[in-house]
Structure 1
Amino acid sequence: MKIILWGMLFFIIANLSLAQVPTEKSLLWEIKAPGGATPGVEKPSYLFGTIHLICPADFSLSDSLKATLARSQQVALEIDMDDPGMMMAMMKTMNMREGNALRKLLSEQEYAKLSQFYKDSVGMGIQMFEQAKPFVLMGPLFNAVLSCQPQSYEMSLVELAAKQKSEVIGIETLDEQMAIFDSIPYKDQAKMILTMIDNLPAARKEFKELVNLYKAQKVNELYNLTMKSEFGMDGNEEIMLFARNKKWISRIQKIMSEKPTFFAVGAAHLGGEKGVIALLRKEGYQVRAVL
């Protein structure tokens, strides 16, 4: 169950002038407050774009990244992933609102197809997910897409933070993340899973392209691919990406005003006119690629 919950979490865990949009090729960015250092905080903060799940062969933590993290005093992820109560809290918030069930969202034929696929290709029955928000099924489904035992940048950063005795905090709460999937119709979530199952070769090809762009550090191209994906936002960009980016800006400003911070969020949040980098630049922050 813990593996399922981590997989689910990582799946979660996406109107400015074009001059603000990042064109540099980098996953790591230095952030300085308008006018230079924040009073009382002499060192800059940093922003890193992660990919939530990736095969070990494609995973890499650069020396530059490790060095910037070492210069920071805390790590801020999308949510606080070293909170010992997180798994219990997730189990309490993973179910749909009262009266909803997976069988009610799908036709009898669709439900049978979904059940057979998870039994044959994922190695588990879907009965345990009957009351869960359908996106929860995405976690274990990614094993079939990736064909590997994936690694997590977030968990690696948590481990590095622990070694240097840095606190790990969250930009948003788990309740806020889980509430996103009450805003997106449950039936749409279930259909998205069926679409991926019906088009696994295309999903694998798209994810491979996503990983290639990530490794090439092309954050704006990665953002563009995310926007046109058949297996991702599907009309829910405002809920899953743009509104969260906007909400994060004031929180990032407050967090970095207190101490030098290493921020790490999904790389799709960095690019585009409504991305975190462009929004920070619009507020007068200096956001510079660390090469």
Structure 2
Amino acid sequence: MMLHRLFLILCLWLASPAWAVPAMWQVGQGKRQITLYGTIHALPKGTDWLTPQAAQAFNRAGTLVVEIAGPSDPAAMRAVVMELGRLPTPVPLASRLPDELKPKADALLKAAGLPVGALDGMESWLAALTLVQIEVARAGLDPAAGVDVALIARARAAGKRLIGLETARGQLALFDSLPEADQRLLLASAIADAGKTVEQMQGLVAAWGAGDVDRILKDFDDASLSPELEKRLFHDRNAAWANWVQAALKRPGRKFMAVGAAHMAGPHSLIAMLQARGIPVKRVQ
């Protein structure tokens, strides 16, 4: 179940309703207002998610704020991945896994058309993400249809200012800096959960499309996520984004802030952190 959160972080989804009404909030007022919008970064083509109310908020904003202000150059991105995720000396993947998962790991690689040692040169976190991406690719998901990609294209076409809260290198570094024990926990989870992706994600995507934040929290309240991984992927990033929102509200300008939907749910969410600082947050969709 831990892989649920990893999928949301990577925004790799396998199904979506034809018409979606994702959750949306507003903070501030007048000319100092920020719309907060929970996103999914990859969707099947044809998903209709930009409601009239969301479109109006986006059109009124002079700035779009996203996690990463891409799209990144593919060659440059591959270079970063290779720099951060390659081991100086290959380590057999099997040696990093519990005995009961070794046969399934071999089967997954074989099904993907990869030799058994294909991931031996990768750090454990990159091997885990690679296995996740293989599963998603088999599901026919199109990252080019994601919410962020569409919003960034709209913002550039309209001449809006574009702000990235993080960089691709910074996001990958979150995984790269994890202790090896946590990286192997990710790797084991990626293998153990392989094959369950479609069923698990369909319910979560339905919750996103319905704007059901309570359901997202329930499905992603995962005790198997290590405290360190939880802290780095969610708590620390949410706190940094809350700092950004608090500072941005002191300056004139309407902004549309679109970040992963998992960051909007729960007691340590971006929404909850803003409210804890005394900043009123109004649900508007």
TM-score by length of 2: 0.77
Structure-2 change in CA distance of 1:90 and 1:257 (3 Å): farther
2:58 is aligned to: 69
Structure 1 residue 95 and structure 2 residue 85: aligned? yes
State the identity as a percent.
19
Residues 207 and 71 of structure 1, relative CA distance in 2, 3 Å threshold: same
2:192 corresponds in structure 1 to 195
* Displacement after TM superposition at 1:222 (Å): 0.6
Distance change >3 Å, CA 84–CA 170, structure 1 → 2: same
The RMSD of aligned alpha carbons is 3.2
Task: Label 1:89 to 1:289 Cα distance change in 2 as closer, same or farther (>3 A).
Answer: farther
Q: In structure 2, how many angstroms separate the alpha carbons of the residues matched to 1:213 and 1:229?
A: 20
Paired residues for 1:213-224 under 5 Å? 213-224=207-218
User: 5+ residue gaps in structure 2?
Assistant: 1-5, 12-20
For the Cα contact (< 8 Å) 1:30–1:289, is it kept in 2? yes
2:148 maps to which of 147, 151, 154: 154
Change (3 A) 1:10 1:238: closer
CA deviation after TM superposition for structure 1 residue 76, in Å: 1.2
Distance change in 2, residues 1:172/1:149 (3 Å): closer
Structure 1 stretches of 4+ with a deviation exceeding 6 A read none
Kindly indicate whether residue 222 of structure 2 is the aligned counterpart of residue 242 of structure 1. Answer: no
Inter-partner Cα distance in structure 2 for 1:176 and 1:244: 11
Task: Give, in whole Å, the separation in 2 of the partners of 1:280 and 1:204.
Answer: 33
Deviations 1:73-130 (A, max 9, x none): 121111222455862563355415645645242368855642442342x455572673
Q: CA deviation at 1:215?
A: 1.2
What letter matches 2:127 in structure 1? P
- Preserved contact between residue 63 and residue 255 of structure 2 (Cα < 8 Å): yes
User: What is the TM-score of this pair, normalised by structure 1?
Assistant: 0.75
Contact 2:64 2:162 in 1 (8 A): yes
CA distance in 1, matches of 2:69, 2:129: 19
Q: CA contact under 8 A between 2:89 and 2:121: conserved in structure 1?
A: no
Shift of 1:266: 0.8
Residue equivalent to 1:183: 178
Give 1:276's aligned residue. 270
- Give unmatched runs, 5+ long, in structure 1: 1-7, 14-24
CA-CA distance at 1:48 after TM superposition: 0.3
| Contact 2:8 2:260 survives alignment (8 Å) | no
- Corresponding residue for residue 27 of structure 1: 23
Task: Give, in angstroms, the shift of residue 281 of structure 1.
Answer: 1.5
Structure 1 pair 136/252, CA: closer, same or farther in 2 (3 Å)? same
Query: What does residue 10 of structure 2 align with?
Result: 12
Q: CA deviation at 1:158?
A: 1.1
Count of residues in correspondence between the two structures: 259
Question: What residue is the counterpart of 1:207 in the other structure?
Answer: 201
**Take 1:225 and 1:49, find their aligned partners in 2: how far apart are those partners?**
16
Is this contact kept in 1: 2:64–2:160, CA < 8 A?
Answer: yes
The answer on whether the counterparts of 1:281 and 1:287 sit within 8 Å (CA) in structure 2 is yes
**Partner of residue 131, structure 1:** 122
Partner in structure 1 of residue 67 of structure 2: 78
